[in-house]
Structure 1
Amino acid sequence: MACGMVIAGTNSGAGKTTASLGIMRALSEMYKIIPFKIGPDYIDAAYHRWACGNFSYNLDVHMIGEDGVKCLYGQKAPLGDVAVVEGVMGMYDGMDDSSYGSTAYISKLLNLPVILVLDASSMAASASAMVMGYRDYDRDVKLAGVILNRVGSHKHYESLKRCIERDIGISVLGYLPNDPSVMIPERHLGLVPAFENSELDEHLSRLSQCIKDYVDLNAIIDIADMSWDKQEGNRHVRATDYPLVKIGVAWDEAFNFYYKAGLETFEEMGARMVPVSLLHDKALPGDIDGLYIGGGFPEIFAAKLSQNTSMLRSVRDAIEDGLAVYAECGGLMYLCRSLTDLSGQRFPMVGIYDVEAVMTKGLKHFGYVEAEVLTDNILSEAGNVLKGHEFHHSEIKGTLPNACYSVKKTKGDSDKSWPCGYVYKNCLATYVHIDFFAHPELARHFITQNLSSRGKSV
């Protein structure tokens, strides 16, 4: 059974991702690390894989439920020696003012100790007050240690450590110096994706060395919890009666937003997932039974996607011939007539939907949503309610076909709803991201509909 810990931050930007990646890379030299990310973030999870060599799994109570979080952690953590769980936002920031779904909430759900990352730049004794507040806000959280970020000097660190350990009685495990060379570049959806960071391995090695120089890794291992009950990981969803189908998965620099547990759910249902590059390949494989186009940054690679005319034609012809296709967010944009970037430059795309995807300077929809399925489609029968999230800087201009989803925010203005989920033949495209780990019945439906639409027996 793996030991585990949660890396939390006092707030977004405190340095929890930096600390998490450095700890993962440093510990991976001695242990098999199984990484996790709290919340729906795809990009941080991709960095985890680069840091320690293993896929990361998202723990999100909205997307997969509390039982799903416990089940997924219980399944995957025992596959390694140490589970490192990176938190989300500030330690107590969740879906609402009750901290539901927050880093602290997940740490209690999994009974894991928490290491708190604090931005200590320009601080002295005030650091004690902050740590005391985070400890006392919820005494059920197992706050076990502190890492200080952006520390000015070793002398500064010694002063902070003395204050915190004297005033709070919580161990200070080390620090990261105020060094811009260990910062990871960002853009409008967070970190620049790992696919695009050509210097990532060198960067992570430098960060790992920084952790080894300034943080007590033995103390971190001592903190890691050993009490997880692996029986929580039971899940029996494998469908043994389905023949093997092949589902293409768009996977390259432009499209790589997928939940690993969701892809594994398709495999549990009897599918073989085949990577396809919409950027570099000339055509879809001729023997696939379906296609899944996830999110990503098609706007960054719009020119190259548009120039790959043979792939555009291959996707368009396959959909016209009845191939089952499911597309999320960036995938929806790719299937539009064109994509217009922030400079106003317009790039032709597949053209299944006779509309234009236009990049916007601000977020159009952001946050957790519920999608009520209004009509049967390749993914679901009418009547289901899917939990997901939207996070995009684009909008659709033009008239789309009738929507099969009615979408609304999970929190806030829950009376406001909007249409999404657009169907053309056996193609469904939507801005809503879902995690198939929470909905194995959707993966099963997609597979069986693929088979029937291709004239194969189920």
Structure 2
Amino acid sequence: MAKGFMIAGTHSGSGKTTLALGIMGALAERGEVAAFKVGPDYIDTAYHKFVTKAPSYNLDVFMQGEEKLKDLYLKKSEGRFVSVVEGVMGLFDGLDDTGYASSAHVAKLLSLPVILIADASGMARSISAMVKGYKEFDEGLNVKGVILNRVSGEGHFSLLKRCLKQDLKLPALGYLPYDAELSLPERHLGLLPVWEMKNLEEKFEKLFEKVKKHVDLEELLSIASSAKIVENPYYDKKSSISEAAVKIGVAMDEAFNFYYAQSLETLRDLGAELVFFSPLRDSSLPEGISGLIIGGGFPEIFAEKLSSNNDMMKSIMEAFEAGMPIYAECGGLMYLTRSITDMKGRRFPMVGIFDMDSVMTGSLKRFGYAEAVVTDDTVIAPKGTLLKGHEFHYSEVINSKEKTSYLVKKRSGKTYGCGFTKKNCLATFLHIDFYAYPGIARHFIESCCRFKGGNLR
């Protein structure tokens, strides 16, 4: 198993993602990096994939549970040069006052040493007081070093390094000087997706060079080698890959790209061949598919272009009418409604499977983790199935009289209907991880096989 470490921040905005990307990219020049992200974030993992040239996987305690999370880490770390896990928010920030599902929680589950990222702008010896709190707050956590962000120069770093050594006996493993050109632009759901970024290679080359110059990568690898062996009785190195039983079309372009790598790989492992297509540019669905998945993304940003591609929308409607199993999440749901009204109030006609409309709002709607009970049979699960997932969207549906097949419960206790169903189509705001529910992935494949007229091998 590859050795590894976690990169965690003192707080959101500390520079954790920038340094994680820089370190992953620099280490990827030496060998294959297994990249991971704590939590349900889709955008950061796409950046990980860009810099490492390999898939990045989400480690989510709430959705996967502790044992499946360990299993995922072990499977995807196997045979890699080093594993690098990017944390979420601040080191101890989780779902509640216990820090459940926090970076610290995951680091302890995986016995990973932690490298703390601290924003040191305007600081001198106060850095020791701040880091001391993070190092000593949880005795079960193994904070092994600090990387300092937004440092004014070598003299500033030398001062901070001396303070950490004399006060805490903790090494400062390097720093990143402030450089506005290294920052990544943001939008309403976080970073601007990698799909839309220009001149990204040049930006990251500059970041990699700064990391190689200012961060002690050899010491990082030494710390990674000190990681303890993770024990998991459920871990099985064997793959369940079989011959393709069915082809499934997966929407993948600038408008739709929110997929967990482990979800797609679960479908493949169960016998599905995934065929990617673009609702923005292609004129029809791929030939020979027996199922369709349309994930989340930013259809509101590309609504005009999506709306003008009448041939694709007609192709999807014909597949729906023919009874093809269709599963859509969040942005995919929006695309299957009558219309999308964007942030500027412009209304664009969409596929129209569901008699309701999608409207962008000025705030997050039903944000966060949720549980759902499947209240009627669907293409992914039978009635009575329990799901854990999350919602992350600024949109809402209006004018709807459509049937729902989920009863969703938020952690606040609030409940509501979702999981809109019609024929063999299910569209929902709730994102789920198929790796956490392989039975759901299998159920969808079986639905596709029935449509195809075959049997699951």
| TM-score using structure 1 length | 0.97
Is 1:134 the counterpart of 2:134? The answer is yes
Give the drift of 1:379.
0.7
- Distance (Å, rounded) in 1 between the aligned partners of 2:421 and 2:124: 58
Q: Is the 8 A contact 2:259 2:295 kept in 1?
A: yes
Is 1:144 the counterpart of 2:144? The answer is yes
Aligned partner of 1:238 in structure 2 is 240
- Distance (Å, rounded) in 1 between the aligned partners of 2:113 and 2:29: 22
Stretch of structure 1 that moved more, 153-162 or 87-96 = 153-162
1:255-404 aligned at under 5 Å gives the runs 255-404=256-405
Aligned Cα root-mean-square deviation (Å): 1.4
Give the drift of 1:456.
2.6
Give the drift of 1:362.
0.4
Give the drift of 1:160.
1.0
Q: Is the 8 A contact 1:7 1:86 kept in 2?
A: yes
For the structure 1 residues 347 and 235, does the alpha-carbon distance in structure 2 shift closer, same or farther, using more than 3 Å as the test? farther
- Distance (Å, rounded) in 2 between the aligned partners of 1:237 and 1:222: 31
- Distance (Å, rounded) in 2 between the aligned partners of 1:286 and 1:437: 27
For the structure 1 residues 251 and 332, does the alpha-carbon distance in structure 2 shift closer, same or farther, using more than 3 Å as the test? same
**Counterpart secondary structure, 1:87:** strand
Aligned partner of 1:87 in structure 2 is 87
Aligned partner of 2:417 in structure 1 is 419
**Counterpart secondary structure, 2:90:** coil
- Distance (Å, rounded) in 2 between the aligned partners of 1:24 and 1:109: 22
**Counterpart secondary structure, 2:78:** helix
Q: Is the 8 A contact 1:271 1:447 kept in 2?
A: yes
Aligned partner of 1:105 in structure 2 is 105
| Per-residue deviation, residues 280-310 of structure 1 (Å, max 9, x unmatched) | 1110023101001000011111111111110
Give the drift of 1:200.
1.4
Aligned partner of 1:162 in structure 2 is 162
Q: Specify the code of the residue in structure 2 equivalent to 1:71.
A: D
Gaps of 5+ in 2: none
Q: Specify the code of the residue in structure 1 equivalent to 2:422.
A: Y
**Counterpart secondary structure, 1:404:** strand
| Per-residue deviation, residues 321-379 of structure 1 (Å, max 9, x unmatched) | 11100000000000010000011111111000121100111001110000110000111
Give the drift of 1:228.
2.3
For the structure 1 residues 239 and 212, does the alpha-carbon distance in structure 2 shift closer, same or farther, using more than 3 Å as the test? closer
For the structure 1 residues 288 and 427, does the alpha-carbon distance in structure 2 shift closer, same or farther, using more than 3 Å as the test? same
**Counterpart secondary structure, 2:210:** helix
For the structure 1 residues 273 and 230, does the alpha-carbon distance in structure 2 shift closer, same or farther, using more than 3 Å as the test? farther
Give the drift of 1:2.
0.9
**Counterpart secondary structure, 1:88:** strand
Aligned partner of 1:53 in structure 2 is 53
Aligned partner of 1:438 in structure 2 is 436
Q: Specify the code of the residue in structure 2 equivalent to 1:424.
A: K
Aligned partner of 2:450 in structure 1 is 452
**Greater than 2 Å deviation, 4+ residue runs:** 225-233, 235-240, 453-458
**Counterpart secondary structure, 1:51:** helix
Q: Is the 8 A contact 2:409 2:415 kept in 1?
A: yes
Gaps of 5+ in 1: none
Q: Is the 8 A contact 1:2 1:226 kept in 2?
A: no
Aligned partner of 1:125 in structure 2 is 125
| TM-score using structure 2 length | 0.97
Q: Specify the code of the residue in structure 2 equivalent to 1:151.
A: V
Give the drift of 1:455.
2.7
Give the drift of 1:152.
1.5
- Distance (Å, rounded) in 1 between the aligned partners of 2:99 and 2:220: 26
Aligned residues: 454
For the structure 1 residues 217 and 236, does the alpha-carbon distance in structure 2 shift closer, same or farther, using more than 3 Å as the test? closer
Q: Is the 8 A contact 1:282 1:311 kept in 2?
A: yes
Percent same amino acid among aligned pairs?
52
Q: Specify the code of the residue in structure 2 equivalent to 1:436.
A: F
- Distance (Å, rounded) in 2 between the aligned partners of 1:239 and 1:442: 17
**Counterpart secondary structure, 1:89:** strand
Q: Is the 8 A contact 1:353 1:400 kept in 2?
A: no
Give the drift of 1:243.
6.0
| Per-residue deviation, residues 50-99 of structure 1 (Å, max 9, x unmatched) | 11111000000011110011000010112311000000000000111101
